[in-house]
């Protein structure tokens, strides 16, 4: 009988990511888990609505069983069953992030036994979660590089605090995920700025665009201000930087009482730091790539218990160069090591301004010796 996974929900960063990634890995590995001390250090500890939606989504796609699945619960046990491909609708019911719910179920659906269509409702552009545009332009293209085919389409924007967004995800799975390396960034081939406004005056977007142009020295023609349909007011700044092999998307959100120029200056500083560092992967994408590359490193090739491929060589795991890791990422690393038993090594640069993350199986690193 496979040993149950015991997770301390207060470890490291201690937030909702521990819940989502633990559930995702339970679905992938088929191992049951118990999470205690859920969000213990937060102002409102325990499961919130978007976390509960993620739990219920995990239950639904596999017919599993959970105890402690209630708002405010500080302990959760989950016993998964085999994942079932199909059509699913998951609604957060608030402005809670629907993109974070996707993080919970997507990894298992990438290696499921058939295609899946997901419809997700809730927040699509929230300050505390990857916006839809980050998924579409930065994350999903790299997932498709691993073998599956994922298509994602936005039907309606959902800003905090009203929510009400909606998007669809089509998943054509691949039994095995191919790893990859992303250690060099080529010359930028495209960069642009989109400022989204919903039920707010246009001068806000113009001031934000003008600030980014001034801070980064970019051509004003590369900036677009768009009025979008959403149930409530909202403002998002999205900066896209594309190179061969990777596209990064940086975002910032308008906040009540904060001048538009200050919001734009924040995202401009983030973009400038990335461009100066010369790395291909920025902070948030670095965190997002760990789990799929970790699954790739963990997976055995068919009929090869030693993990040696008998057909064409499949890279397991991978490596990428990024900025110094956030606490969010270091917590993620500890979780992946615990549940998957894989090797994750961090090589810091001499000036400590960037690092290389290497993810491999327990017996070897990609490209290295056993």
Helix axes 327-340, 16-29, angle to 10 degrees: 30
Domain spans in the chain, listed from the N-terminal domain onward: 188-276, 278-300+312-370
| CB-based contacts of 187, cutoff 8 Å, min separation 6 | 243
How many C-beta atoms lie closer than 10 Å to residue 352's C-beta? Answer: 8
Q: What share of the chain is helix, strand, coil (3-state, %, to 5)?
A: 30, 30, 40
The Cα 173–Cα 146 span in angstroms is: 10
Q: Say which of 51, 203, 262, 328 is annotated catalytic.
A: 328
Nearest CA-CA partner of 49 in 13, 16, 7: 16
pLDDT at 83: 97
**157, 124 in Cβ contact below 8 A?**
yes
Helix axes 16-29, 283-298, angle to 10 degrees: 20
Task: For residue 194, give Cα distances in angstroms to 132, 140, 214, 221, 329.
Answer: 13, 19, 15, 11, 27
pLDDT tens across the length of the chain (370 residues): 467 899 998 988 888 889 999 999 999 999 999 999 999 878 889 998 889 999 999 999 999 999 999 999 999 999 999 999 999 999 998 778 899 999 999 999 999 999 999 999 999 999 989 999 999 999 999 999 999 999 999 999 999 989 999 999 999 999 999 999 999 998 888 999 999 999 999 999 999 999 999 999 999 999 999 999 999 999 999 999 999 999 999 999 999 899 999 999 999 999 999 999 999 999 999 999 999 999 999 998 765 555 454 556 789 999 999 999 999 999 999 999 999 999 999 999 999 999 999 999 865 444 333 3
The Cα 133–Cα 11 span in angstroms is: 30
Q: Is 328 a catalytic residue?
A: yes
Q: What is the CATH number of domain 188-276?
A: 3.30.360.20
The Cα 51–Cα 101 span in angstroms is: 8
The Cα 73–Cα 18 span in angstroms is: 14
End-to-end CA distance of the chain: 29
pLDDT at 211: 97
């Amino acid at each position: 009988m496979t040993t149950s996974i015991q997770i301390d929900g207060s470890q490291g960063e201690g937030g909702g990511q521990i819940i989502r990634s633990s559930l995702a890995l339970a679905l992938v590995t088929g191992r049951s888990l118990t999470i205690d001390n859920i969000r213990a250090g937060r102002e409102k500890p325990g499961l919130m609505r978007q976390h509960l939606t993620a739990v219920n989504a995990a239950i639904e796609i596999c017919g599993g069983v959970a105890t402690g699945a209630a708002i405010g619960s500080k302990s959760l046990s989950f016993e998964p069953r085999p994942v079932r491909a199909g059509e699913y609708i998951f609604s957060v019911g608030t402005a809670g992030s629907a993109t974070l719910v996707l993080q919970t179920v997507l990894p298992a659906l990438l290696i499921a036994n058939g295609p899946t269509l997901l419809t997700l409702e809730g927040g699509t552009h929230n300050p505390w979660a990857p916006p839809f545009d980050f998924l579409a332009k930065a994350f999903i293209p790299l997932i498709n590089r691993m073998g599956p085919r994922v298509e994602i389409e936005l039907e309606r924007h959902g800003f905090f605090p009203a929510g009400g967004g909606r998007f669809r995800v089509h998943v054509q799975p691949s039994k095995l995920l191919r790893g990859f390396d992303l250690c060099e960034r080529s010359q930028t081939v495209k960069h642009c700025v989109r400022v989204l406004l919903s039920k707010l005056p246009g001068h806000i977007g113009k001031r934000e665009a003008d600030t980014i142009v001034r801070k980064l020295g970019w051509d004003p023609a590369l900036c677009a201000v768009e009025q979008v349909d959403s149930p409530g007011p909202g403002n998002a700044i999205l900066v896209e930087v594309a190179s061969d092999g990777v596209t990064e998307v940086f975002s910032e959100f308008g906040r009540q009482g904060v001048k538009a120029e200050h919001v734009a200056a924040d995202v401009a500083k983030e973009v400038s730091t990335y461009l100066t560092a010369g790395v291909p992967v920025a902070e948030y994408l670095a965190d997002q790539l760990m789990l799929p590359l970790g699954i790739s490193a963990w997976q055995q090739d068919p009929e090869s218990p030693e993990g040696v491929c008998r057909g064409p060589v499949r890279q397991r795991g991978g490596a990428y160069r990024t900025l110094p890791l956030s606490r969010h990422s270091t917590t993620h690393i500890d979780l992946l090591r615990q549940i998957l038993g894989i090797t994750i090594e961090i090589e810091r640069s001499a000036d400590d301004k960037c690092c290389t993350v290497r993810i491999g199986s327990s017996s070897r690193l990609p490209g290295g010796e056993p």
